[in-house]
A and B are shown apart, each in its own frame.
Chain A
Amino acid sequence: MSRAALDEFRDAVAAHEATASVVEAAGLRAELEGIVDGLAVGAPLPFDGVSLEGLPVSLDPTPAELEAAEYGVTGAKLGLADYGTVAVRADPAGTEPVSLFCDTHVAVVAASTVEERVDAAFDTLAADARTDRPSVVLATGPSATADMGELVYGVHGPSNVHVVVLSDR
């Protein structure tokens, strides 16, 4: 993706009450160590040469850990530049629960999969639906409600979202 699109993505993430950082794959470990400051669970990241092994992140967590953890680290299938959205897959490794139950969701996305146009992202999603029939959640910012009379972040889902973009993936 272009520099401009990356900036657009970061701006859109910020506009939706989330935060973003951009690192090279080699710097991810240090980046996550800086972010994760408490009990954390994770799902394996689907990027070449990148792993959560060795970090204080419980992979293949138990339900009790899911309930107790403050941070959930997952990969994202793609991003939407216009909206600051990440696509989270509901896969057997537990990406969906890890992204949903903790107060802070840390989503890692490869820069090459951040789509500048919604149409392009949909071409991918629609093609996948035809073949693998996956389940995907387009997640944008924290969970929110205005049902209690004012806008509140953090309802049934996370109240904080941080997106880490891998600039060389």
Chain B
Amino acid sequence: MSAESRDAKAARIRRLLETEGDAVAENTKGFNAGRYETVADLEDYEGLKDAAREIKEDAIERLPELVERVTAAVEENGGRVYVAEDAADANRYVREVVESKGAETVVKSKSMTSEELDVNEALEAVGVRPVETDLGEWVLQVADEAPSHLVAPAIHRSRGAIADLFEETFDPDEPLGTAEELTRFAREKLWEDVRTADVGMTGANFVAAESGTLMLVTSEGNARKCALVPDTHVAVAGIEKLVPSVAEFRPFVELLARSGTGQDITSYVSMLTPPVDSPTIDFEDAADVPLSEQAGEREFHLVLVDNGRWAMREDPQLRETLYCVRCSACANSCANFQHVGGHAFGGDTYTGGIATGWESGIGGEGAAADFNDLCTGCSRCVNACPVRIDIPWINTVVRDRLNRGHDPDAFDHLVDGLTPDEEPAGLDPQKRLFGNFETLARLGSATAPLSNWIASAGPVRALLERVAGVDRRRDLPSFERESLVDWFQARGGPSVDRDDAAREAVLYPDVYTNYALTDRGKAAVRALEALDVRVLVPDVPGSGRAPLSQGMIATAESKAHEVRDRLRPHLAAGRDLVVIEPSDLAMFEREYERLLPHEDYETLAANSYEAFEYVYGLLANGADPNALESGDDRPVDYHAHCQQRTQGLEGHTVSVLSDLGFDVTTSDVECCGMAGSFGYKREYYDLSMDVGSDLREQFDDDALVAASGTSCVEQLGDLLSRPAVHPIELIAPR
């Protein structure tokens, strides 16, 4: 990316932060908080997620059979099924149905699939008037805007902005101010269209193949009316919406609304088997004819849309996207999305973390190129997803493919077939720089302090900014001349005798701890040794986190193999692996599953511990807490790393600090906004700082500041006027 396009992107993000950021933030943070609250009420949330995942896996596996079954079932019910190859094919079919009815107006309920198809444009082109009846969608239709969210498409507009739009467009008799007034105005206006429309269109959240039953999850009641009032009902749904039967709707009834808007259930969960048995209702020409004598005839068409989905099913990396139930949890739980919204973090149709999968599946990777980098891999969406999709991985894979610049329409270049160390020559210099941070750190350390002086010099920062897009408002890491590994060797290696040791552990010298933040490494050694652990600090390469975050999967994979080889003898000797940097621990425990043979991954993952998880375990097994520093009631503001929290490892740090007498306040933001290299990138600096502002507000006092991740420490340092440390530095004996 050129310096100019970085600046243009930065300007665009700044504009969205100013115009839409506040409305998006208020809504998405509300949805996200609601999700935490409502899933806590479930007796077996994890069990429901397992069931949901299993249903989708099975359904996608059996898709060809389900398409056949639903076709037979709908025909038996008296309807028709059309499987559309692509958007043009689907639109042609819909247009033919609409024209055969002589329809002037088509009323629609909210359907992301119909947004994907651009059905409205196709209908308008033949003189038919489509009317969106979902209030959010209607706002977008009036404003001629794209959805900014999967579930609440107009959340980027505040009440005031909607009132202004209506005033401008409709010049209403009474001024519109309150949400109540706006809703009433919309309802009355839309009812005129619903009562006279000839065709109603809906989407479907799920389609039961066995009976031809659609599940529609709504709150306004417009989908019920669109399916009921016009005699002809056209439902459009991606083929991935098929499940075997109504029984498979079950877990989603409890999961969908909770995961999306944080409600326990929406007002209406319709399970319609069209053509429905309700009498037809002619408000125009038979207004005084009782329902039992209404003479209309119901007609039903189910348009199942392929539009790239069969190919996604054949693509082992994108296939998981088809499990997506479009609940929006990945967007609501994403710190970047919360601040900038779907007009930056989204493509033509889909928004949020999963949009990378959908947009590249439908339009080729290029369709995700503009927003894919907004996924920082923080993994906060992973536990939020009700079908357990590894959304960060999908983003990484697409980033890798984009780096390689393959034909965007071809899916034959799977990561499995790549040769290590063959990252493409055309790789963006920014990605190359951050992806190869380990090399940089090694060189920087070898030549410190000279390297630090040079790196902080004005002309060098200007060059770094122009060529590699490293924002000069950020401090660069300052490298230590003596690495942690060198220090450990120089002091004579392990200091606890094997015979006296409670356990033996390898402290993993991650790139930051080894070359830059050596203090936290030394503190970890002191803390563990004080608890009678025989500590070793061998020379082990970087985990591959840095290249992986830039989409350099082949390089990350070769790192994983090196790490495995280097650690193998230690693990074989029964040593534990203690990891300070949570993003590296997440590599060992999450991503290595995809990068190493299964047995190697399992051994490594099973024996890896986050530093405080390990200390917690030692104390729980009888180690003496008096060997560590006491907190003496000192207040500490503690921010756990995003990936650490995804792995459920925040509590250990909080618990140990509290037990040692620290007065701990924890943050509740999803991510600090730095997210590895993200906040260093010139085009994302403003967004990163905006995300960080939540943390600044929460830690607006004079307590000690602690954070587990390197980038969180750096971000906090930039946000607050006081330095942040790793919590191990608070408890290690001096």
Contact = CB atoms under 8 A, between A and B. Distances in A.
Report whether chain A binds chain B.
yes
Contacts of B160: 149
A48 B210 CA distance: 32
A133 B211 contact: yes
Interface string A124-141: 011001100111111111
Contact of B139 (A96, A147, A156): A147
Interface in A127-169: 129-130, 133-152, 154-158
B contact residues, range? 35 or more
A118 interface: yes
A90 B276 contact: yes
Contact of B292 (A60, A85, A143): A60
Contacts of A126: 245-247, 250
Interface residues of A, number: 52
Interface stretch (B280-288, B315-323, B408-416): B280-288
A64 B287 CA distance: 5
Contacts of A66: 281, 291
B266 interface: yes
A144 B134 CA distance: 11
B159 A135 contact: no
B135 A130 contact: no
A56 to B, nearest CB: 17
B224 A96 contact: yes
A63 B287 contact: yes
Nearest to B157: A149
Contact of A92 (B195, B219, B279): B279
A90 to B, nearest CB: 4
A137 B223 CA distance: 11
Contacts of B277: 89-92, 134-135
B81 interface: no
Interface stretch (B182-190, B389-397, B485-493): B182-190
Contacts of B278: 90-92, 94-97, 135
A148 B254 contact: no
A96 B191 CA distance: 17
Contacts of A122: 246-247, 249-250, 253
A97 B220 contact: no
Interface stretch (B9-17, B267-275, B662-670, B685-693): B267-275
A83 interface: yes
B182 A96 contact: no
Contact of B276 (A64, A100, A130, A135): A135
Contacts of A63: 281-283, 286-289, 291, 294
B264 interface: yes
B77 interface: yes
Nearest to A143: B221
B246 A125 contact: yes
B172 to A, nearest CB: 14
Nearest to B176: A148
Interface string A47-84: 00000000000001111101100000000000000010
B265 A140 contact: yes
B205 interface: no
Contact of A157 (B77, B213, B247, B267): B267
Contact of A140 (B134, B211, B266, B283): B266
19 contacts: A63-B288, A83-B265, A91-B278, A96-B276, A100-B221, A122-B249, A129-B213, A130-B245, A130-B246, A135-B277, A137-B270, A137-B271, A147-B136, A147-B139, A147-B154, A148-B186, A149-B182, A155-B219, A157-B224
Interface of A: 16, 60-64, 66-67, 83, 85, 89-97, 100, 118-119, 122, 125-126, 129-130, 133-152, 154-158
Interface of B: 27, 77, 133-136, 139, 152, 154, 157-160, 162, 178-180, 182-183, 186-187, 190-191, 194-195, 208, 210-213, 219-222, 224-225, 228, 245-247, 249-250, 253-254, 261, 264-274, 276-279, 281-283, 286-292, 294
Given A63-B281, A66-B291, 10 more contacts: A60-B292, A62-B287, A63-B286, A126-B246, A129-B245, A133-B211, A133-B213, A138-B268, A147-B136, A156-B191
